[in-house]
Amino acid sequence: MSSNIENILDQPYEAGFVSDVEMETFEPGLNEDVIRRLSAKKNEPEFLLEFRLKAYRHWLQMEEPDWANVTYEKPDFDAIRYYAAPKKKPKKDSLDEVDPAILEVYDKLGIPLQEQKMLQNVAVDAVFDSVSVATTFRKKLAEAGVIFCSFNEAVQDHPELIEKYLGSVVPYTDNFYAALNSAVFSDGSFVYIPKGVTCPMELSTYFRINTQDTGQFERTLIVCEDEGYVSYLEGCTAPQFDTNQLHAAVVELVAFDNAEIKYSTVQNWYAGDEDGKGGIYNFVTKRGICEGVNSKISWTQVETGSAVTWKYPSCILKGDNSVGEFYSVALTNHHQQADTGTKMVHLGKNTKSTIISKGISAGVSQNSYRGLVKMSPSADGARNYSECDSMLIGDRCGAHTFPYIDVRNPTAQVEHEASTSRIGEEQLFYFLQRGIDEEDAISMIISGFCKDVFHELPMEFAVEARKLLGIKLEGSVG
Amino acid sequence: MSSADETMAKHPFVARFIDQGRARSTEGLPQWWADFRTSALQRLVGLDVPGAKDEEWRFIRLASLAGEEFVAEFDADRQVNENELSEVTVPESAGARLVFSNGQFLPELSDTSALADEVTVTTWSQLREAGDLDEIHDYLDIADFWEDDLFYNLNGANFEDGAVIMVPRNEVVETPIHIVYLANGEGNDFAAHPRNIIVAGESAQVTVIEEFAGAGEGTYFHNVVDEISLGANAKVRHIKVQQDQTTAYHFARNVITLSQDSNYEGTAVNFGGQLSRNDSYARFDGKNIECTLDGLAYVQGRQVTDTHTAIDHALPDSTSYQLHKTIVDDRAHSVFNGKIFVRKDAQRIDSNQLNQNLVLSPRARVDTKPQLEIFADDVVCSHGATVGQLDDEQLFYLMSRGIDAERGQAILTYAFAAEVLETIGVDSLRERLEEQVLEVTSAVAE
């Protein structure tokens, strides 16, 4: 069986092409000058430059963390280009004006912006290397009062909102990579849902790293006012280079009274080749705060790419009765390493959180769940339920579980369960004797294993996620 | 400054123990023991008192311990209050008891007459006097798991006494062997470093009760290391009861190595100490081994108790179980970290771990971190952890049958603890501990 599984797993990376789009880049290296130039290039207001410089100075004092269960060669921060943008300017008003070469890239990735626009009613903000190239459906959203634009545009058009919320959930002092991002972030997405508005469509961003030696440092900020609702999708790919590239993003979510934010990610950055050469370092800080009563933040992630992943989408449940959710599928193969999980910090009364994590390890990969559930003294009647299941495919990989549970309130209830298993011979036999071949059987078993998470994904993402896992595991059964 | 001087200046707590270790007599010490002491002393130089950044210590603070100035155990008064001893008597162990006070052996209160001659039940100090230490050399420092651990090395540099139990091949010891450590701590702040060696030969069977008890208000420090070696098909039942004074410090490292077909069943009961830490490491050196590491901690006032366990499945085809419960009242704080390792190629491992925590007071705190690290695929490993208060529905059920709320709470708390205690096969000990829990829970109810 195992040789066959390996075949499935050996599926080539389909998004690994490089496209020849003319780029404008900075020389590699980082210092205050680079930050000033970056800021000037973007015509940023004074407060933002200050924010960047403070973050940079703080970052210089920090040490790269090494507590995660991953080993990798530390990036050389002076070898990274901190700005890379497609040369064609200025900003487009409609897709027709976007460089056809870029559009072709997205077509190859299976995200035809046009098509999505027409058929799926999804508004897309596409970020190419560091700069947002097109945002579809702008007008339609504006009618509803929703602001959905690139971060740079938001800085120009709504500086008061950026100043108010930037760094309010993830301060620049938060951790090493958040500090770096705060200093050099290039672009990203901004979403603002005004009071009482249910966003009329799902919002979506596709991130793509194209240039060699660039780091991608995008910044996403979503603010959802009272009674608002938004569902946000994020997808990522990168070409195949045999050097490691750094992706250090920061995502901040703010939900006020009765608001709900649903954030879904399908991450398929280039994972390196079979020998672990190349691939993306995915060091991401994602955090949401349920500021208001009855608010809800839900993270759903399907992590299949990256050489090293270091990511803990978290919820701070501050408002009474607020709800935090985390649904995750993390698949690692070959030499991939993932250390991912969540933090649920319960501050308000009767706050609830649910954690469902499914880890699948194959090849010689290492897959870790790391999570924190914290019940503060003020969190009367808070509840948490966590379930972390791991599946091992092959006997050279590892699955690890590191849940931290910290309870300081007697009325809080915490339940945590974890299990580790593999695809049973008997399960496979059952499929085979019903005429389903091994490959399909494994795919179905994995699908079943991840069902609780896939259920949470928006329709088109669920289809994509299932396909992605299928591709990743194709030919791996024996 | 040399690194030795640096340690002295930076960590007077460690330096004091280095001095005490260096000052210990080497008379009658075999070379291997002297060497072991020297290497522990060398390792202590440069070891810090662990802080919050150290993953193994992140939930507790050692500042109060590190601020104490303990005298060596032989400078402490070791008079024993007979009442104290009678309170911890286990009738089943008559004629099979070793008594220590302030870490030093008391031959006059010990009695091993009920045991067969083939079974060695003695102490380091007695063997040293008789010049008969060499047979335990192989059972010292049996695993390098705590090689860089401060407390393991403090013990290595300073231990002079402790129980030595060696059960030869095929010998089944029916009488449970009772090791008692009393502390006469009133104003007498000593540090003792007991080192207990338990060896069960091939197909041997033995039950050992290790009990720490103290009355009064002393801030003494018990820093224990147990080394337990099981031969093929051996069976060891180990019950540890820690009831040191609630002003004292109790630290223990238990190393267990298991050969094929052996069975170790450990239960650790922690009621005492202002700060207690009980760590166990079980290494599987063969196949078809069964290992159980159960625990119960009940802490009140401002007590802090911390239990870390590591079950190391290095080889295939074995089973491990763990049920660890804590009850936390007042402003007390309990910590649990249970690691299960399944190494590469250690297939067909079945490992189950459950940690349950009962929080009785608004200011109590629980930290728990169950942990799985799996490197083999054909395994069934699971862990679970719960933290919460008593179940309202269960309480309602009792009240609907005419039991008042306070009594109902006491019964439910008792029942929570009893699940661990009821596995203790020594009747008088189990009953004593159950009564103790019931007494505390009823007092809480009033």
Pick A395's closest partner by Cβ from B369, B370, B376: B376
Structure confidence at residue A131 (pLDDT): 56
Alpha carbon of A467: minimum distance to chain B alpha carbons (Å)? 25
Per-residue model confidence as pLDDT tens for chain B (446 residues): 455 566 666 788 999 999 999 999 998 899 999 999 999 999 998 888 998 888 899 999 999 999 999 999 888 777 777 788 888 999 999 999 999 999 999 999 999 999 999 999 999 999 999 999 999 999 999 999 999 999 999 999 999 999 999 999 999 999 999 999 998 767 678 999 999 999 999 999 999 999 999 877 789 999 999 999 999 999 999 999 999 999 999 999 999 999 999 999 999 999 999 999 999 999 999 999 999 999 999 999 999 999 999 999 999 999 999 999 999 999 999 999 999 999 988 999 999 999 999 999 999 999 999 999 998 888 888 999 999 999 889 999 999 999 999 899 999 999 999 999 999 999 999 999 999 998 888 765 44
Q: Which residues of A touch B363 (CB under 8 A)?
A: 377, 408
List the single best residue of A332, A364, A407, A415 to mutate versus B (max B Cβ within 10 A).
A407
| Closest by Cα among B26, B33, B107, B59 to B367 | B59
Q: Please enumerate in sequence order all residues whose Cβ is within 8 A of that of A430, keeping only pairs 6 or more positions apart, or say none.
A: none
Structure confidence at residue A197 (pLDDT): 94
Pick A400's closest partner by Cβ from B344, B374, B379: B374
Q: Is A415 on the interface with B (CB under 8 A)?
A: yes
> Does B361 contact A390 at a Cβ distance shorter than 8 Å?
no
Q: Are B382 and B353 in contact (CB under 8 A)?
A: yes
**A105's torsion region: left (phi>0), alpha (psi -120 to 50) or beta?**
alpha
What residues of chain B have any CB closer than 8 angstroms to a CB in chain A? 55, 59, 344-345, 347, 357, 359-389
Q: Which residues pair with A331 in a beta bridge?
A: A360
> Does B362 contact A67 at a Cβ distance shorter than 8 Å?
no
Give the phi and the psi of residue A44 in degrees, each rounded to 5.
Answer: -85, 150
Give the phi and the psi of residue B136 in degrees, each rounded to 5.
Answer: -95, 0
Q: Please enumerate in sequence order all residues whose Cβ is within 8 A of that of B296, keeping only pairs 6 or more positions apart, or say none.
A: B267, B268, B269, B270, B324, B325, B326, B327, B417, B420, B421
Pick B369's closest partner by Cβ from A398, A402, A410: A402
> Does A406 contact B345 at a Cβ distance shorter than 8 Å?
no
Alpha-carbon distances of A120 from A114, A202, A204, rounded to whole Å:
10, 9, 11
Q: Which residues of B touch A396 (CB under 8 A)?
A: 344
Q: Please enumerate in sequence order all residues whose Cβ is within 8 A of that of A403, keeping only pairs 6 or more positions apart, or say none.
A: A341, A369, A370, A371, A372, A373, A386, A388, A416, A418, B369, B370, B371, B385
| Closest by Cα among B417, B414, B412 to B399 | B412
> Does B386 contact A404 at a Cβ distance shorter than 8 Å?
no
Helix (H) or strand (E) holding B149: none
> Does A377 contact B375 at a Cβ distance shorter than 8 Å?
no
Helices in B207-320 by DSSP H: which ranges? none
Helix (H) or strand (E) holding A263: strand A260-267
Name the closest residue on chain A to residue B392, using Cα atoms.
A411
Alpha carbon of B106: minimum distance to chain A alpha carbons (Å)? 43
Which position has the token pair 């298991």? B258
Q: Which residues of B touch A387 (CB under 8 A)?
A: none
Per-residue model confidence as pLDDT tens for chain A (478 residues): 444 445 545 556 666 666 666 667 788 888 899 999 989 988 999 999 999 999 999 999 999 888 888 888 888 888 888 877 665 444 444 555 566 666 666 566 555 454 444 334 455 666 665 555 556 667 778 888 999 888 888 999 999 999 999 999 999 999 999 999 999 998 888 999 999 999 988 887 766 655 555 567 889 999 999 999 999 988 766 556 666 778 899 999 999 999 999 999 888 878 887 787 888 889 999 999 999 999 999 999 988 888 899 999 999 999 999 999 999 999 998 889 999 999 999 999 999 999 999 999 988 899 999 999 999 999 999 999 999 999 988 888 899 999 999 999 999 999 999 988 888 788 889 999 999 988 888 888 888 888 888 888 877 677 777 777 766 666 554 3
Query: Using alpha carbons only, how large is chain B's radius of gyration in Å?
Result: 21
ipTM over 0.90: no
Alpha carbon of B142: minimum distance to chain A alpha carbons (Å)? 27
Distance, in Å, from the CA atom of A242 to the CA atom of A272, rounded to the nearest integer, reads 7
| Closest by Cα among B190, B157, B188, B163 to B178 | B163
Structure confidence at residue A140 (pLDDT): 77
Burial of A159 (0-12, 13-18, 19+ CB in 10 A): middle
Alpha carbon of B316: minimum distance to chain A alpha carbons (Å)? 12
> Does B388 contact A392 at a Cβ distance shorter than 8 Å?
no
Q: Which residues of A touch B329 (CB under 8 A)?
A: none
Q: Are B400 and B366 in contact (CB under 8 A)?
A: no
Q: Is A442 on the interface with B (CB under 8 A)?
A: no
Q: Which residues of B touch A414 (CB under 8 A)?
A: 385-388
> Does B378 contact A415 at a Cβ distance shorter than 8 Å?
no
Q: Which residues pair with A218 in a beta bridge?
A: A187
Structure confidence at residue A120 (pLDDT): 41
pTM of the model: 0.85
| Closest by Cα among A99, A83, A181 to A133 | A99
Cβ neighbours, 10 Å, residue A425: 10
> Does B365 contact A375 at a Cβ distance shorter than 8 Å?
no
Q: Which residues of A touch B379 (CB under 8 A)?
A: 392, 420-422
Structure confidence at residue A291 (pLDDT): 96
Q: Which residues of A touch B387 (CB under 8 A)?
A: 375, 405, 407, 412-414
Q: Which residues of A touch B59 (CB under 8 A)?
A: 406
Q: Are A191 and A147 in contact (CB under 8 A)?
A: yes
Pick A409's closest partner by Cβ from B344, B362, B372: B362
Q: Which residues pair with B355 in a beta bridge?
A: B324, B385
Pick B384's closest partner by Cβ from A393, A404, A416: A416
Three state DSSP letters for A18-33: CCCCCEEECCCCCCHH
Most distant CA pair in chain A, distance: 69
Q: Could you check whether the bond before residue A90 is cis, i.e. omega within 30 degrees of 0?
A: yes
Cβ neighbours, 10 Å, residue B285: 18
Q: Are B160 and B70 in contact (CB under 8 A)?
A: no
- Relative to beta strand A279-290, strand A244-247 is parallel
Domains of chain B, residue spans: 73-390, 391-446
Alpha-carbon distances of B441 from A113, B298, B409, rounded to whole Å:
67, 10, 8
**A121's torsion region: left (phi>0), alpha (psi -120 to 50) or beta?**
left
> Does B388 contact A412 at a Cβ distance shorter than 8 Å?
yes
Helix (H) or strand (E) holding B361: none
Distance, in Å, from the CA atom of B88 to the CA atom of B82, rounded to the nearest integer, reads 10
Q: How many CA atoms lie within 13 A of B403 on its CB side?
A: 15
Alpha carbon of B1: minimum distance to chain A alpha carbons (Å)? 28
Q: Is A427 on the interface with B (CB under 8 A)?
A: no
Q: How many residue pairs bridge chain A and chain B with CB atoms within 8 Å of each other?
A: 118
> Does B362 contact A410 at a Cβ distance shorter than 8 Å?
yes
Cβ neighbours, 10 Å, residue A288: 27
Residue A445's SS3 state is: helix
Q: Is A400 on the interface with B (CB under 8 A)?
A: yes
Distance, in Å, from the CA atom of A159 to the CA atom of A126, rounded to the nearest integer, reads 21
Condensed to tens digits (0 to 9), the pLDDT of residues A346-383 reads 999 999 999 999 999 988 899 999 999 999 999 999 99
Alpha carbon of B67: minimum distance to chain A alpha carbons (Å)? 27
Pick B367's closest partner by Cβ from A390, A405, A418: A405
> Does B383 contact A417 at a Cβ distance shorter than 8 Å?
yes
Name the closest residue on chain A to residue B365, using Cα atoms.
A408
Sign of CA dihedral B148, B149, B152, B153: positive
Burial of A150 (0-12, 13-18, 19+ CB in 10 A): buried
